[in-house]
Amino acid sequence: MPVPKGSTLDPERTRATIIQAATAVLYERGLDGIGVAELCARIGVSKETLYRHFGTKDGLVQAVLKARSERVTHWLVKAVSDAGDDPRDQLAAVFDALQQWYDGPLFRGCAMLNAAAQHHVEAVRAITTRHLDRYLDLLTGIADRAGAAQPHLLGRQLLMLVEGATVVAAHHDATGAGEHARQAALTLLSTAAQANPCG
């Protein structure tokens, strides 16, 4: 029975639904860990619909990754802005948010990094790079407001802590990874702020 009787015929909503459902499945199984047929069955959509919206499996993957990158970034930005005006509190909020993520049952590492790790398509790697750019902007902003001597340097070091904590949590042990990284980040922040002659 094509087009279920009670369904709403709305391409944009369909597209959004596909992205949302595909995000979860592709994250859990891996980009190459599930075929388009099974993917469609899980999502509850026909292959023709999927290909009409995204053209290619790779097109779907890119749409999924872009959406996820934006969602995650906004989530972190909100955590920062909810933490008040103190840059130290803002930085701590980042790692607290990350720890929440690590502790979830569905945590499987950073989806963008996972994708870039094995999916050798330039467009996918570009999405990952842009994702890291966004993180870097956020962290550099905190470093700047904290009066760090070299905010760009500190921002980069904080980015390494964020990504390192995520990697360790995903592939080694998630217990306290966020807290431990947070402590290290605050130490770096203090040191960089103290060293600033203009602070």
Binding site for DNA (CB under 7 A): 1-11, 13-14, 32, 34-38, 44-49, 51-53, 55-58
DSSP-derived secondary structure for 81-113: HTT-S-HHHHHHHHHHHHHHHHHSTT--S-HHH
Other Cβ atoms less than 10 A from the Cβ of 93: the count is 21
Out of a second copy, DNA, none, what residue 84 binds, judged by CB under 5 to 8 A for its kind, is none
Minimum CB distance to a second copy, residue 37 (Å): 18
Residue 171: burial class (beta carbons within 10 Å; 0-12, 13-18, 19+): exposed
118 binds, among DNA, a second copy, none (CB under 5 to 8 A by kind): a second copy
Q: Which is nearer to a second copy, 53 or 111 (CB)?
A: 111
Residue with smaller CB distance to DNA, 48 or 85? 48
In the complex, the smallest distance separating the C-beta of residue 131 from DNA, rounded to whole angstroms, is: 23
81 contact, one of DNA, a second copy, none, CB 5-8 Å limit per kind: none
Reduced to 3 states (helix: H, G, I; strand: E, B; else coil), residue 140 is helix
Nearer to DNA, 21 or 153 (CB): 21
Question: Which residues are CB-contacts of 23 (< 8 A; sequence separation ≥ 6)?
Answer: 64, 67, 68, 111
78 binds, among a second copy, DNA, none (CB under 5 to 8 A by kind): none
Q: What is the contact surface with a second copy in residues (CB under 8 A)?
A: 29-33, 109, 113-120, 125, 128-129, 132-133, 136, 153, 156-157, 159-165, 167-168, 171-172, 177, 180-181, 183-184, 187-188, 191
**Residue 42 or 156 with smaller CB distance to DNA:** 42
- Going by C-alpha positions, the residue among 94, 16, 125 that lies closest to residue 60 is 16
CA–CA separation, 83 vs 15, rounded Å? 34
For 115-119, the CB contacts below 8 A with 24+ separation are: 115/31, 115/61, 115/65, 118/30, 118/31, 118/32, 119/31, 119/32, 119/61
Q: Out of a second copy, DNA, none, which partner does residue 168 contact, by CB within 5 to 8 A per kind?
A: a second copy
Between residues 84 and 164, which has the closer beta carbon with respect to a second copy?
164
